[in-house]
Amino acid sequence: VRLKQTSTEYRTRLESLSRLTAEEAKKQLYDEMIHDVKQEAEYKVREIIESVRTNANREAKKIIALAIDRCAVDQSTQSSVALVPLPNDQIKARIIGKDGRNIRTFEAASEVKVMVDDTPEAVVISCFDPIRREVARAAMTELVSSGKITQTRIEEVIERAKGKVEKRLLSEGQETVNLLKLEPMHDEIKKMLGRLRFRSSYGQNALEHSKEVAFLTGMMAAELGMDEILARRCGLLHDVGKALDHEMEGSHPEIGLEYAERYGEPEEVKNAIVAHHNDEDEEITSPITFLVSAADAISGARPGARRNDPEDFIKRVIALEELARSFDGVAEAYAINAGREIRVMVKTEEVDDAHTHVLAFEMAQKIRNDLTYPGHIKVTVIRGKIAQEWTSDPGGNQQKQRGGGRRRQYGSRDQRPSRASGSHAAAG
């Protein structure tokens, strides 16, 4: 009883001296411990993430470098016009015909625009549909070669050219399947691959792109001990829906999935078709899909592979800056290096040094999930602090100085602004 009484008196005296009750002291200690543990956890998590990222990046770069080193695919940008050479300029009169009848018949039967202008010894065929453009080019070449250009013959030659192009589609698809050793494959799928020869995305030929993705996916799969042939199949057919996306309703993944289901393609191929763009609505169920997605990005981002629309670039940069500004505590954000880096200035009073690393990581994750971009984006978070004082004389009056009598103090030694803390993270 005496010990309990002494303990109570001791606690009462401590509370009186500290001006805190026992419960308030416990809460203060608890809050300090939570803050210390949280800060230590942030540092530990950052250390683990950096270690894992370093090792993963090293292995990933090794695998990708080996795949790229072994893969070389010729590329040429595509145009919406075809040039047909002529033996001489006199034949242009026969192409046009009396009162323009021949050229009107040709344009109506082939659904293209024929331009007979001042281009020496050539006519230009213009059409955004690459199949129709190829049919018209083949028909015009045959008509010019024979020299017999009449309305009846024009229609006959165009019909014959349609048959030849249809056979060429299957031939192109068969050659691609043989090259990649992907037999058996249904003839209708092969025809769709052949149609990709006449399609392009940002100037990049769709069939050559699909072949490059197939090779890269297969090589990366082999390095990882996965099924190389199945990986090639997934890579080759990932964009097969683009062969008909202007003729059927739906996006190219939806069209590709429909054909893959109709002609019995494996589940891994179906998943690669619908999920290789990393859409949140589509679940990735096969690890090969991740390789297809990586190979697709490599093929599209390679310098010279695609033409970039300046308007799309501006929209991408604006979206990147707006995303960075959406985070709490961000004062301003600027995209630099052609959108390959985003620099973020944070509010000193709202974000401490430890949290800048967490903010950079979260921002990189959101960029990776929400935006579409080639390559990777570096995220730099900057937290700075400026100390400012007024000079005064002993009497308390401000002294006049050149420049307005105001002085900023940035440090006791160098007197220059510095970046108090910077955090880096990469998206992509």
CA distance 68 to 298: 9
CA distance 205 to 199: 6
Tens digit of each residue's pLDDT (9 = 90 or more) over 254-265: 888 888 999 989
Q: Please report the pLDDT score of residue 415 as a whole number.
A: 35
Per-residue b or e along 301-332, where b marks 16 or more CB atoms closer than 10 Å to that residue's CB: ebeebbeeeeeeeeebbebbbebbeebebbee
CA distance 122 to 87: 8
Helix pair angle (287-301, 228-237), 10° resolution: 50
Q: In the structure, what pLDDT confidence band is assigned to residue 161 with cuts at 50, 70 and 90? A: very high
CA distance 63 to 43: 30
CA distance 367 to 369: 5
CA distance from start to end of the chain: 69
> Mean pLDDT across the stretch 11-21?
69
* Higher per-residue pLDDT: 389 or 415: 389
Instruction: Write the DSSP assignment of 317-385 as a string of letters.
Output: HHHHHHHHHTSTTEEEEEEETTTTEEEEEE-TTT--HHHHHHHHHHHHHHHHHH---SS-EEEEEEE--
Tens digit of each residue's pLDDT (9 = 90 or more) over 21-32: 767 777 777 887
Give the pairing type, strands 122-126 and 113-115: antiparallel
Average pLDDT over the chain, rounded to whole? 79
Closest CA to 205 of 300, 81, 78: 78
Task: Give the distance, in angstroms, between the CA of residue 79 and the centroid of all CA atoms in the same chain.
Answer: 23
Q: Would the pLDDT of 413 be above 80?
A: no
* Higher per-residue pLDDT: 172 or 337: 172
% the chain with pLDDT above 70: 77
* Higher per-residue pLDDT: 170 or 205: 170
Q: Please report the pLDDT score of residue 235 as a whole number.
A: 92
Q: Would the pLDDT of 420 be above 50?
A: no
Q: Would the pLDDT of 282 be above 90?
A: no
Q: Would the pLDDT of 416 be above 60?
A: no
Q: 3-class SS at 408? A: strand
**What residues contact residue 413 under an 8 Å CB cut-off, 6+ apart?**
none
Closest CA to 176 of 209, 216, 222: 209
Q: Would the pLDDT of 407 be above 70?
A: no
What kind of fold does domain 181-301 have according to CATH?
Hypothetical protein af1432 (1.10.3210)
CA distance 40 to 29: 16
Angle at 170 between CA 166 and CA 173, to 5 degrees: 135
Rg (CA), the chain: 34
Per-residue b or e along 208-242, where b marks 16 or more CB atoms closer than 10 Å to that residue's CB: bbbbbbbbbbbbbbbbeebebebbbbbbbbbbbbb
Q: In the structure, what pLDDT confidence band is assigned to residue 69 with cuts at 50, 70 and 90? A: low
Q: In the structure, what pLDDT confidence band is assigned to residue 247 with cuts at 50, 70 and 90? A: low
Q: Would the pLDDT of 233 be above 90?
A: yes
Q: 81-165 sits in which CATH class?
A: alpha beta
| Mean pLDDT lowest among 81-85, 91-95, 167-171 | 81-85
Global pTM exceeds 0.75: no
> Mean pLDDT across the stretch 58-72?
62
> Mean pLDDT across the stretch 68-86?
64
Q: Please report the pLDDT score of residue 332 as a whole number.
A: 87
Q: Please report the pLDDT score of residue 409 as a whole number.
A: 38
With beta carbons less than 8 A apart as the criterion, state whether 337 and 311 touch.
no
Query: Where are any strands of DSSP class E within 75-186?
Result: 81-85, 113-115, 122-126
Q: Would the pLDDT of 399 be above 60?
A: no
Angle at 263 between CA 259 and CA 264, to 5 degrees: 115
Burial of 137 (0-12, 13-18, 19+ CB in 10 A): buried
> Mean pLDDT across the stretch 352-364?
88
Q: Would the pLDDT of 417 be above 50?
A: no
Q: Would the pLDDT of 400 be above 50?
A: no
> Mean pLDDT across the stretch 359-388?
84
Q: Would the pLDDT of 148 be above 70?
A: yes
Amino acid occupying residue 274: V
| Mean pLDDT lowest among 58-67, 133-142, 197-206, 222-231 | 58-67
**Taking the domains of the chain in order of start, what are their residue ranges?**
81-165, 181-301, 310-427
Q: Please report the pLDDT score of residue 403 as a whole number.
A: 43
Tens digit of each residue's pLDDT (9 = 90 or more) over 97-136: 888 888 889 888 888 888 887 778 888 888 877 888 889 9
Q: Please report the pLDDT score of residue 27 as a whole number.
A: 78
| Mean pLDDT lowest among 55-64, 141-150, 347-356 | 55-64
- Supply the CATH classification number for the domain 310-427: 3.30.300
